[in-house]
């Protein structure tokens, strides 16, 4: 299995499906977590644009910081 830097996240995940390599399964699992985090960040950003309440925007920014922290949780 060869993962190239030009592959999209979806292509990498598809290429790792059914993979028997423990390392590549770990890579795919971590990538799934990051992709899910990016989706959540995008949703928070879209909601922040539509909301005018400072509390909601602040809470969204706090959550984005948590996701982006990338401490491996």
Assigned domain for 1 exists: no
For the four alpha carbons of 58, 68, 73 and 38, in that order, the dihedral sign comes to: positive
Assigned domain for 44 exists: yes
Q: Which residue has the tokens 């499906």?
A: 17
Q: Domain of residue 48: give its range.
A: 9-68
Q: Which residue has the tokens 């390392």?
A: 23
For residues 73 and 34, what is the distance between their CA atoms, to the nearest angstrom? Answer: 11
The one-character DSSP state at 7 is S
Number of structural domains (the chain) is 1
Q: What stretch of H or E contains 30?
A: helix 22-50
pLDDT at 10 over 80: no
Assigned domain for 57 exists: yes
Assigned domain for 3 exists: no
pTM of the complete model: 0.62
Q: Are the beta carbons of 23 and 32 closer than 8 angstroms?
A: no
37-49: per-residue pLDDT in tens? Answer: 888 888 888 877 7
Assigned domain for 43 exists: yes
């Amino acid at each position: 299995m060869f993962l190239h830097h030009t592959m999209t996240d979806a292509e990498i995940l598809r290429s790792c499906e059914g993979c028997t390599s423990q390392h590549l399964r770990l890579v795919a699992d971590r990538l799934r977590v990051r992709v899910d985090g990016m989706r959540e960040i995008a949703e928070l950003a879209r909601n922040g644009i539509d909301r005018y309440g400072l509390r909601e925007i602040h809470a969204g920014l706090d959550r984005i910081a948590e996701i982006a922290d990338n401490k491996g949780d």
